[in-house]
Amino acid sequence: MSSEQELLTKWRSLPQEKQEEVLDFVEFLGLKNSANKVSLGERLQQIRTRIVASGKHLLDEDEIEKELASRRGGLQGREE
């Protein structure tokens, strides 16, 4: 079995979510290897567009602050 066939066989056995992760990783490798690298800003916009298209919730500023606080050891009062 060729490497391509083996990869495809293994990819098909993965759940849909994992298949998407593999595709994202392959895209990442392609971008990393590309002579015409996309700027960070363009790449971030592409990622945002994919997230919005997937229907996933984007965090607002308050939700981001709460997420950061929880990862840093707990929620603290917000000074305004």
Per-residue confidence (pLDDT) for residue 4, from 0 to 100: 92
Q: Along the 80 residues of the chain, how does pLDDT read in single tens digits? A: 899 999 999 999 999 999 999 998 988 888 777 656 668 888 889 899 999 899 988 889 999 999 888 888 876 555 55
CA 51 to chain centre: 8
For the chain, the structural domain boundaries read: 3-71
Q: Are 49 and 43 in contact (CB under 8 A)?
A: no
Strands (E) in the chain, as ranges, are none
Q: Could you read off the pLDDT of 8-28 as tens digits, one per residue? A: 999 999 999 999 999 989 888
Per-residue confidence (pLDDT) for residue 29, from 0 to 100: 85
The HSE-up count of residue 39 (CA atoms within 13 Å, CB side) is 3
